Amino acid sequence: MPGRLKPVAEQTIVITGASSGIGLATARRAAEAGARVVLVARNKQALDEAAEQIRLRGGKAAALAIDVAEPGAAAKIGAFCIDSFGMFDTWVNDAAVALYGRVDETSMEEHRRVFDVGYFGLAAASIYAAQQLRQHGGALINIGSVLAERAMIYQGVYSAMKHAVRGFTDALRMELEAEGAPVSVTLIKPNGIDTPYPEHARNKLGEPARIPPIAYDPELVARAILFAAENRKRELTVGGGGYLVSKMGNLAPGMTDKVMEMIGFGSQTTARPPRSGTNDNLFKPRRDGETHSNREMYVRKQSLALEAQMRPWAAAAILGGVAATLFTLAKRRRTSGEAVQDLGLAAHQTDGTDSSAQMEALIADENMVPERLP
């Protein structure tokens, strides 16, 4: 039967796609919490610098430059982790590449590359990690997207890849649960996150790309990942906007199509160009090492929806308290109105009585106010 997951401070955590964005933010946060971290990505310089920064802050980190789409990459990562810190406790699959453009203008070579990294690399790593974690338990965390629920125009190939990630992750989870394996499998579904993603993506839109609003801080995704490393969760969606997109697409798919068709281009383009050396890492690594994009936009640093998922009982208690308060206020307002009506009737029936005094006495008797009326 599945056992308890270790506290992050006692874990060794493997993170792919750790040279920028969500992966880098997670590696830093995990190291700050006391975890031993293995950073994996293609860009050796960026990885070595990130690992060195972690060590300078007192953390424990090792870096391996490798393409997760390479045959046998997962086993090589696992062996490197064991040599560096011993067996891993959590494996995070975050590596991905992306592309902005029309589906009919995307070559099959580009299609395959997006899937080789984001799906086949993730699938191979998940199967390897699950095999190892069967022995002593642990967590497998795959980074999906809200685009696994609802495809985005001009990000069709990436959306399709994330749909595949969701299907694979759900199937693997069921198989592990059916055999009673002590492996927690979590799918993290971020909304649009303010990372270098649009700078790194291959862009065929003719204008610089950006994340469509509302964008969220990558630190929120890092929090969700580390929460899943300690707590068995099926899914976590980061950003309330992601829920709205999903539900809107389910309830009114045709209308959602029309909205995306109207705003899809404008919401995903900007006048601000990528930082020098960062653009288009589809086939080769480019300049890296940043957690946030260089785009000027509003970024949410909190997500009440995420907090509610991580602490459902606390959220239920808060909602219950709010509902009880609203009910009490409504009841008092109704009672107060009935009292005023009764007082008006009594005033007409009583000669020589001060109506304001009667009202004050009546309200005091009903305990509707804590002190005398002025």
Query: Residue 139: pLDDT above 70?
Result: yes
Is the pLDDT at 359 greater than 60? The verdict is no
The pLDDT tens digits for 185-195 are 999 999 999 99
Instruction: With a cut of 50, say whether residue 363 has pLDDT above it.
Output: no
Q: How confident is the model at residue 327 (pLDDT cuts 50, 70, 90)?
A: low
Report pLDDT for 228: 98
| Rounded mean pLDDT, 300-313 | 87
| 230 vs 30: CA distance, rounded Å | 12
Write the single-letter amino acid at 196.
P
Q: What is the pLDDT of residues 143-171, one digit of tens each?
A: 999 999 889 999 999 999 999 999 999 99
What pLDDT was estimated at residue 296?
81
Which of the four pLDDT bands, split at 50, 70 and 90, describes residue 342?
low
Check residues 304 and 137 and name the one with the higher pLDDT: 137
Count of alpha carbons within 13 angstroms of residue 149, beta-carbon side = 21
Question: Looking at residue 245, what is its pLDDT?
Answer: 74
Phi, psi torsion values for 123, nearest 5 degrees: -65, -45
pLDDT band at 371 (very low <50, low <70, confident <90, very high): very low
- Dihedral in degrees, nearest 10, Cα atoms 311, 317, 319, 323: 180
Half-sphere exposure of 268 toward its Cβ, with a 13 Å CA cutoff? Answer: 23
Could you please state the CATH topology (level 3) that the domain comprising 8-310 is classified under: Rossmann fold (3.40.50)
Binned at pLDDT 50, 70 and 90, residue 317 comes out as low
Torsion of CA 279, 283, 286, 290, to 10 degrees: 80
Instruction: Record the tokens describing residue 204, joined without a space.
Output: 């065929």
Highest mean pLDDT among 130-134, 238-242, 255-259, 270-274: 130-134
Q: Say how far residue 326 (Cα) sits from the centre of its chain.
A: 31
Catalytic residue, chosen from 100, 128, 154, 158, is: 158
Residue 250 confidence (pLDDT): 77
pLDDT above 60 for 366: no
Contact assessment for residue 94 and residue 143, using Cβ atoms and an 8 Å cutoff: yes
Query: β-pairing, 90-93 with 12-16?
Result: parallel
3 state DSSP class of 182: coil
Comparison of pLDDT for 331 and 137, the residue scoring more: 137
pLDDT > 90: what percent of the chain? 71
State mean pLDDT over 119-138: 97
pLDDT at residue number 247? 75
pLDDT score, position 75: 98
Nearest to 25 by CA among 219, 186, 203: 219
Q: What is the mean pLDDT of the chain?
A: 87
Place 295 in a pLDDT band, splitting at 50, 70 and 90: confident
Residues 323 and 347: beta-carbon distance below 8 Å: no
User: Which residue type does 97 have?
Assistant: V
Task: Say if CB 373 and CB 360 are below 8 A apart.
Answer: yes
Q: Is the pLDDT of residue 368 over 50?
A: no
pLDDT tens track for 71-120: 999 999 999 999 999 999 999 999 999 999 999 999 999 999 999 999 99
Judge whether 243 counts as a catalytic residue.
Answer: no
Report pLDDT for 299: 92
Q: What are phi and psi of 109, to 5 degrees?
A: -65, -40
pLDDT band at 19 (very low <50, low <70, confident <90, very high): very high
Please give the pLDDT value at position 338: 58
Q: What pLDDT is recorded for position 252?
A: 87
What does the angle CA 110 – CA 113 – CA 118 come to, to the nearest 5 degrees?
A: 130
On the question of pLDDT at 354 being above 70, the answer is no
Structure tokens at 57: 């802050």
